[in-house]
Amino acid sequence: MSAATTKPSLSIQFKNILFTTDLSPCSESALPYARAIARLYGSTVHIVHVVGPEPLIGPLGVPYPQVEDQNPVAQRAMDKLIQSGALKGVLHTQTIKRGVVWNVVSELVTDFKVDLIVLGTHGYSGLKHLVLGSVAEQIFRRAACPVLTVGPGAHDGLAHGKLNTIVYATNFSPASRQALPYALSLAHANRSKLMLFHAVQYGESFVKVQLDAIVQIAKHELMNLMPESLEVIVKCGPAADLILGIATDSNAD
């Protein structure tokens, strides 16, 4: 039985985009992606910064006076971001709220009817990841809408405001299938080159004949997902390494 028998829809829309930021340079590196997608789809970008539930302490150990969710340091940074013109020509709102990040984000996703969350990730590993990198993972794993994460190693592929090459990697599972309509919609809106990729995991017991047969089956499944005019690639080996390699070789956005 084929892994896919229906073609994905072109009707995906991003009417409301939630851009979450801790106001750091790493976090703000994701803003061009939110802006580019907003311009293509006519979206509104809702910028949100979450202030920790604890009060901000001044230099003399005295808490700053605060009105509801306002934080003077965060407000100045938010104003600077808006005044930079980073969202010029794009409808946008700004929100600063106090609380736990996921709780605030979850509430705003509902309030703003968010179709896409965009955020930058610090790319921490080890202990720093456990202490500081868990927020992005919470959002990624728990959000009911798609989440676009932009890592610190991402190149600026949006010099002209569009995505030129998109790699859609799939293991043919229902979970990975959910991403296909979004990849197709983004490729259609950007007139991008869309590459379909699958990594074949294999063990020492496999012989070449078996691998060749599996590769051919995988290519057939990829072509069933999309029109044959698209580029389909199947390779054998560790999936993450191969996906990164394909993205590098194709200069993917």
pLDDT of residue 65: 56
Give the CATH class of 16-150.
alpha beta
Work out the pLDDT band at 153, boundaries 50, 70, 90: confident
Lookup: tokens for 117: 């969350």
Q: Helix or strand or coil: residue 146?
A: coil
Which 8-state DSSP code applies to residue 85? Answer: T
Q: Which residue has the higher pLDDT, 134 or 88?
A: 88
Contact 159, 229 (CB under 8 A): no
Q: Where are the domains of the chain?
A: 16-150, 165-249
* 7 has pLDDT over 80: no
- Segment 185-238, tens digit of pLDDT: 999 988 999 999 999 987 656 677 788 888 999 999 999 887 666 799 999 999
* 49 has pLDDT over 70: yes
Contacts of 14 (CB under 8 A, 6+ apart): 37, 38, 41, 43, 115, 116
The domain at 165-249 falls in which architecture? 3-Layer(aba) Sandwich (3.40)
Which of 23-27, 101-105, 140-144, 227-231 comes out lowest in average pLDDT?
Answer: 227-231
Work out the pLDDT band at 5, boundaries 50, 70, 90: very low
Work out the pLDDT band at 11, boundaries 50, 70, 90: confident
- Segment 91-134, tens digit of pLDDT: 999 999 988 889 999 999 999 999 999 998 876 655 455 444 57
Say how many Å lie between the first and final Cα of the chain, rounded.
Answer: 33
Q: Which residue has the higher pLDDT, 52 or 151?
A: 151
The β-bridge partners of 148 are 118
One fold for 16-150 and 165-249: yes
- How many CB atoms are closer than 10 A to CB 133? 16
pLDDT of residue 64: 54
Which 8-state DSSP code applies to residue 14? Answer: -
